[in-house]
Amino acid sequence: MDAIVVNDLRKRYGEVQALDGVSFAVSEGEVFGLLGPNGAGKSTTVRTLVTLTRADSGSASVAGHDVAREHNAVRRVIGYVPQDSGVDELGTGRENLVLQGHVQGMKRRDLRSRTNELLELVGISDAADRIVKTYSGGMRRRLDIALGLVHRPRVLFLDEPTTGLDPEARVVMWEEVSRLAQAESLTILLTTHYLEEADQLADRLAIVSQGKVVVEGTPAGLKAGLRGDAVHIELENGAVDDAKRVLSGVGASPEQVLEGRTIVSRVENGGRALPGIISALEGAGIPVASVSLSRPSLDDVYLHFTGRDFAAEDRAA
């Protein structure tokens, strides 16, 4: 059964079409990633699914409940870990958890043991009775996740779970999320604008760009869909057109041009083909500033399907 079904969601905020027909489905027990740059519509999608926001049109259901018509049924089975926390930092970690549990309608005794269990599970037992203001970024994020889990939801929404964490803490958080997904047998929908994160965590992912799902698949499948390695050739002058002709001649058809001087080509067995490519360019009198070769990454998948450079778009947003 599908834990989440999203069908042609549209939402406009004033001039901005935040969602422009988003559709995807997530199976039960799956970790599903929505990957895209800032402003792509990931958070709006999640906010619609957790009943915070109403879509203008389209439909969506979570654990079989329609998000527009069966608010409370949805709210009972989901955990939501928003991008900006929502923790009361003037209270302690435990107080936050207990309040969350009460509001979720849990019984006092159950809540007490569940709180202890979760504090242990996310590894902040020692800090449980400290004011959240004194927590580190990583501890705070763990508490956020515990808050989303307190009432034993079936579907967990993680909106940018590692934004604002340093790289080390991020890797630890990835391990935690994978472990929690197992321990609590959860379906997880996570949004991220980190390509590595989607690659690490998601069983399947959808790339979102400008309010639409551009492509959907497993990280490995998406990468495999791009045949060959990516060769980035940066030219010293801007002779892009000449260079393109030369490259096509040696079987390295250019796919994209970045910033007017870097050509991206896709080549089978890039390592072996590279010397030939460079000498062909030099033979044609086109000076090369730098060359790099990379195995297909989600960056390349993004570039391939949207025609835009992920990092540049993320910065621009």
Distance in Å, CB of 8 to other proteins, minimum: 21
The structure tokens listed for 42 are 């990931």
Chain-centroid distance, C-alpha 58: 22
Tell me the C-alpha distance between 284 and 41, whole Å: 45
Nearer to other proteins, 103 or 312 (CB): 103
Smallest gap from Cβ 11 to other proteins, in A, equals: 11
Residue 145: burial class (beta carbons within 10 Å; 0-12, 13-18, 19+): buried
Q: Given the complex with other proteins, which of 99 and 171 has the nearer CB atom?
A: 99
Closest separation in Å from C-beta 63 to other proteins: 14
Task: Name the amino acid, one letter, at 245.
Answer: R
For other proteins, the closer of residues 103 and 291 by Cβ is 103
Least distance from C-beta 15 to other proteins, angstroms?
16
Residue ranges in contact with other proteins by CB under 8 A: 47, 50-54, 71-72, 75-76, 78, 80, 82, 84-91, 95, 99-100, 102-105, 131, 147
Q: Which is nearer to other proteins, 140 or 170 (CB)?
A: 140
| 187 phi, psi to nearest 5 deg | -95, 130
Q: Minimum Å distance from CB 132 to other proteins?
A: 10
Of 49 and 202, CB closest to other proteins = 49
Q: Tokens 């490519």 belong to which residue?
A: 277
Is 281 within 8 Å of 246 (Cβ atoms)?
A: yes
Contact 53, 9 (CB under 8 A): no
